């Protein structure tokens, strides 16, 4: 058996076309949505994400601005940059790119984002609304995953779901969304005992732990749907030989690096019923949902 490929890039293109129409409708009403992004330091993955966000905004014609602060920035300096975006009426959505440097208090920074502009859904008020199933903004990666599952015809209600990872960004909101969709949900983490025994119960398995190739065939129930949220850059040849198929291994040899997920794709693809690729799976959907949330924020403000 070879797992069905869940093509996030294709679904993201469909969503972007829908967003184009929503944006045109807002502009016709005199509302020009604006996105402000804050990037602190020079984390390579963050730079890629912001670059892809910029490309998508330009493709759609969305007003956007990225402010960059040095890696030495203090918590107060980052909060001041957030407040500058808060005050500007032409900025409807604010993205604080994570991770922040270790000296910056990420919680204080995220709490400083005006909740009506918190398009990542990280402000405590927006987290509370999500818990109560009346969200203002749904965190972008989990929202994108739900879109992917729905548009791929994958049933959620009544199924056993396991979320591997308990971060505020992906794991916790993902578990909430699946619960709201009537799945029976288990959240696993670094302290979970007999992990493989738990994950093998899942009809739907979401991996979001940030460890390359951690989830292997022995963790997966035959026929399960597996969503790989991980984006990990590898440059070690031994890891590449283990984690990459021959085509991607040849690409690795040319470039000297590659992106891989938290799922050991070569082994899991032989067991799972469906699997998201890395790259081209969840990543493009995250950016599409970021734009969607920005349009929602602009409509709410207008």
Active site residue 172: no
pLDDT value at position 195? 97
Q: Does residue 278 share a domain with residue 176?
A: yes
Q: What does pLDDT average to over the chain?
A: 95
Residue 17: inside a domain? no
pLDDT at residue 40, rounded to an integer: 96
Q: How far is residue 89's CA from residue 86's CA, in Å, rounded to a whole number?
A: 8
CATH number of the domain that residue 222 is part of: 3.40.50.720
Distance CA 220, CA 226 (A): 8
H-type alpha helices, the chain:
8-28, 44-60, 75-87, 106-112, 124-131, 140-151, 171-180, 195-199, 237-243, 246-255, 265-268, 283-301
**Domain identity same for 103 and 188:** no
Same domain, yes or no: 189 and 272: yes
CATH number of the domain bearing residue 72: 3.40.50.10860
**145 lies in the same domain as 252:** yes
Q: Tell me the mean pLDDT in the region 129-134.
A: 97
> Quick one: tokens of 53?
């966000």
pLDDT at 35 over 70: yes
Tell me whether residue 203 is one of the annotated catalytic residues.
no
Q: Which of 7, 42, 43, 53 is catalytic?
A: 53
One domain for residues 72 and 197: no
Note whether residue 42 is domain-resident.
yes
116, 131, 149: which is the final residue of a domain? 116
* CB 156, CB 148: distance < 8 Å: no
Question: CB neighbours of 61 closer than 8 A, spacing ≥ 6?
Answer: 23
Q: Show the tokens assigned to 44.
A: 């390579």
In-domain check, residue 44: yes
- Answer yes or no: 237 catalytic: no
Averaged pLDDT, 175-200:
97
- CA 212 centroid distance within chain: 16
Whether residue 144 sits in one domain with residue 97: no
Same-domain status, 152 and 236:
yes
Instruction: Say yes or no: 187 and 245 in one domain.
Output: yes
pLDDT in tens, 228-279: 999 898 999 999 999 998 889 999 999 999 999 999 999 999 999 999 999 9
Same domain membership, residue 155 and residue 93: no
Confidence at 51, pLDDT banded by 50, 70, 90: confident
SS3 217: helix
Name 68's bridge partners: 39
Q: What's the rounded Cα separation, in Å, for the pair 27 and 230?
A: 36
Of 117, 118, 120, 203, the active-site residue reads: 120
Same domain? For 98 and 145 the reply is no
Taking 90 as the threshold, does the pLDDT of residue 114 lie above it? yes
Q: What is the pLDDT, as a whole number, of residue 48?
A: 78
Give the separation between CA 230 and CA 262, rounded to whole angstroms: 5
Give a yes or no: residue 98 inside a domain: yes
In a domain, 67, yes or no: yes
CB 54, CB 66: distance < 8 Å: yes
* Domain-located, residue 9: no
Encode pLDDT of 196-222 as tens digits: 999 999 999 999 999 999 999 999 999
Confidence of residue 302 (pLDDT cuts 50, 70, 90): confident
| 277 vs 287: CA distance, rounded Å | 16
pLDDT (0 to 100) of residue 42: 85
Does 107 fall in a domain? yes
- Pair 152, 271 in one domain: yes
- Model confidence band, residue 47 (pLDDT cutoffs 50, 70, 90): confident
228 in any annotated domain? yes
Contact 221, 201 (CB under 8 A): yes
Q: Enumerate residues 6+ apart whose C-beta is below 8 A from 18.
A: none
Same domain, 47 and 173: no
Here the tokens at position 94 are 């604010």
End-to-end CA distance of the chain: 51
DSSP state of 250: H
Check residue 1 and give its pLDDT: 61
Single out the catalytic residue among 42, 80, 84, 97.
97
DSSP structure string for 106-148: HHHHHHHS-GGGBTT--SHHHHHHHHTT--SS--HHHHHHHHH
Count how many domains the chain has.
2
Can you give the residue range of the structural domain that contains 55?
A: 30-116
Q: What percent of the chain has pLDDT over 90?
A: 92
What is the per-residue pLDDT for 245?
Answer: 87
CA nearest neighbour of 72 among 31, 42, 41: 41
What local confidence, expressed as pLDDT, does residue 224 receive? 98
């Amino acid at each position: 058996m070879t797992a069905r490929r869940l093509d996030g890039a294709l679904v993201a293109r469909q969503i972007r076309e829908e967003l184009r129409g929503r944006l045109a409708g807002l502009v016709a009403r005199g509302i020009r949505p604006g996105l402000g992004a804050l990037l602190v330091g020079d984390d390579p993955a963050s730079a890629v994400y912001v670059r892809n966000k910029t490309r998508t905004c330009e493709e759609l014609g969305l007003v956007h601005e990225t402010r960059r602060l040095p890696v030495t920035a203090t918590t107060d300096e980052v909060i001041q940059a957030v407040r500058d975006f808060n005050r500007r009426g032409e900025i409807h959505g604010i993205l604080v790119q994570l991770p922040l440097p270790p000296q910056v208090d990420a919680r204080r920074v995220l709490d400083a984002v005006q909740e009506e502009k918190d398009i990542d859904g990280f402000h405590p008020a927006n987290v509370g609304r999500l818990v109560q199933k009346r969200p203002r903004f749904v965190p972008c990666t989990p929202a994108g995953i739900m879109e992917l599952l729905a548009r791929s015809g994958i049933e959620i209600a009544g199924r056993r779901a396991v979320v591997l990872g308990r971060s505020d960004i992906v794991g916790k909101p993902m578990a909430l969304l699946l619960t709201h969709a009537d799945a029976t949900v288990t959240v696993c983490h670094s302290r979970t005992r007999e992990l493989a025994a738990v994950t093998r119960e899942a009809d739907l398995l979401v991996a979001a732990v940030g460890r390359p190739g951690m989830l292997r065939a022995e963790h997966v129930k035959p026929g399960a749907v597996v969503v790989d949220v991980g984006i990990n850059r590898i440059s070690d040849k031994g890891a590449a030989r283990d984690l990459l198929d021959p085509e991607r291994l040849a690409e690795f040899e040319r470039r000297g690096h590659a992106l891989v997920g938290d799922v050991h794709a070569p082994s899991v693809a032989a067991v799972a019923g469906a699997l998201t690729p890395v790259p081209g799976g969840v990543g493009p959907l995250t950016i599409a949902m970021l734009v969607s949330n920005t349009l929602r924020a602009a409509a709410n403000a207008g």
